[in-house]
């Protein structure tokens, strides 16, 4: 499916509301890549709250 295989959640250090911003997914991805080039940002729905999580991706 073209998606990189991501080992697991590495960080939830992103500002909590980052995914609610305009262009939030891109902002989340940029944040995670800046923290560590391997981290892949994803906006996840956790109990109705959209949060930016960083996943460990070796791709």
* Position 1 in a domain: no
Q: Which domain does 34 fall in, by range?
A: 6-57
DSSP code for 7: E
Do 38 and 58 form a contact (C-beta atoms < 8 A)?
A: yes
* Position 18 in a domain: yes
Do 56 and 5 form a contact (C-beta atoms < 8 A)?
A: no
Please count the structural domains in the chain: 1
Show pLDDT as tens, one digit a residue, over the chain (59 residues).
Answer: 455 567 777 765 667 688 988 999 999 999 888 877 778 888 989 898 888 988 887 65
Q: How many CB atoms lie within 10 A of CB 59?
A: 8
**Predicted pLDDT of residue 33:** 85
**Predicted pLDDT of residue 1:** 44
* Position 53 in a domain: yes
Q: Whole-structure pTM over 0.85, yes or no?
A: no
The beta strand positions in 1-59, using DSSP E, are: 6-11, 39-46, 49-57
- The distance of Cα 35 from the centroid of its chain, to the nearest Å, equals 11
């Amino acid at each position: 499916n073209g998606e990189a295989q991501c080992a697991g959640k590495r960080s939830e250090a992103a500002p909590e509301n980052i995914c609610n911003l305009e262009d939030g997914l891109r902002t989340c991805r940029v944040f995670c890549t800046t923290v560590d080039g391997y981290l892949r940002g994803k906006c996840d729905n956790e109990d109705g709250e959209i949060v930016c999580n960083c996943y460990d991706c070796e791709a």
